[in-house]
Structure 1
Amino acid sequence: MAKIDNRPDSLANRITPSYREAALSSSAKPQRRTQAERSEAMRARLAAAAFETISQGGFNALRMRNVANAAGVSQGALMHHFPDKNMLVLAAVEQALELARHDSDASALAPDASPETVLRALIDDLHGFFFSDRFWVAIGITLEASRDQEFYPDVRRRVSGLRTPFYEGWQQRLVVAGWTEEQSRIMVRSAAAMVSGSAIRRFWAPSDELEAAVTDQWVNDWLARR
């Protein structure tokens, strides 16, 4: 799996806000928490460790021993919460896509943002996902799971369930900016295809001026159709 530049260095930085609070509290001064709260904190810590393990070493590095070491717990503690590898895989892909969801900023745009500003923000948001380890962890898990016909549908459903709200949120924002619902669906799909294609192309070629020109043409074409 490709290494991604500019990745956070610490495990805590890879945990979503709610998960980060839970994970950090598990190592802080003991507080009066319920068993359910302690269990949730540990699951969050282990999910973050699974994500970290795949991010650093690829899917083949996802072994119970490696995840337990990354989380600083025993294998027995890990298997108490995730009895088999498939459950851990689902936790890792959820962690990757939850991180991506928290990174998304569709709702952060001002209601009166210009149409071009909205389009550029969509491209930036997609770029932030497809050029990050969130994407490579998710795609690596999905590709590996495709070899298991019984497990693969579970992974597909989980990935779809976590990514669909992202696309729907941008579709709604484009409608607010003046495009039709049908146009908005096409725009989000085509933008995702364009940006993910650029991310994959980086395996054999660096970014160049043509990449920016393709983006500019996409933006200008959709501004003209509004």
Structure 2
Amino acid sequence: MPEELSFDTAPRCNASSIRMLLENAGVMPAELAADISQIEEPLRNTLEQIPFQAPPKVRPNGVVLAGTTGVGKTYAMAALAKHQLLKKYAYGIPNQFDPANSPAIWRSVLDLVTEWRSMALHPADQERLFRRLAQADFLFLDDLGGEIKERGGREYDRGIAFIDRLIRARYDHYRSTSCTTNCTAEALIMRYGAPFFSRLQHMSMWIEFPRGSRDRRLRGKP
């Protein structure tokens, strides 16, 4: 049997260790201070119920936060990322943990597709990137649907196919996947297709911010 990870000499899970995990995941500095306690109800309670085990063979095990710009979707997803990592490492970070291989990955979909396209002449590098994204315990995708603005053309089709393949792989292996998007459900179906949206809706709870919502970070403020 493989040797189990030891927590005997590991640092206990605290704010600095979780910050390290979030930084390695790729969370932007502006979102590192996100805290689930600052999220309004009922969204806070919903986020707290999302499973954190990796991979939990239950669904949904992530969220899709949909709404217009400026309503707090990215902040809420960062708060969820911190909450899931705090739960996962409640007894400390294993002393064999390699910070270069974070269990979580946070990426802007635009940046992710741009990086993948830049490797077009190096398919082995593309496949390594895909495997890392597909196998991460937690994947957080910011601005789903914002990767390529122009419809049609080979690059558009390849970008769509890449995201579709990634979501399908994570769906098949019960990997926790959360996204933000400015798109409506109908727009995502038009962009990626009905099978894609069906998988996404099954694996990640759809939470839509009503048009005109104020930023959820401003709890208790007028």
Same fold (TM over 0.5): no
Q: TM-score, normalised by structure 1?
A: 0.28
Structure of greater relative contact order (alpha carbons < 8 Å, 6+ residues apart)? 2
Q: TM-score, normalised by structure 2?
A: 0.28
Larger radius of gyration: 1
Query: As a proportion of its length, which structure holds more strand?
Result: 2
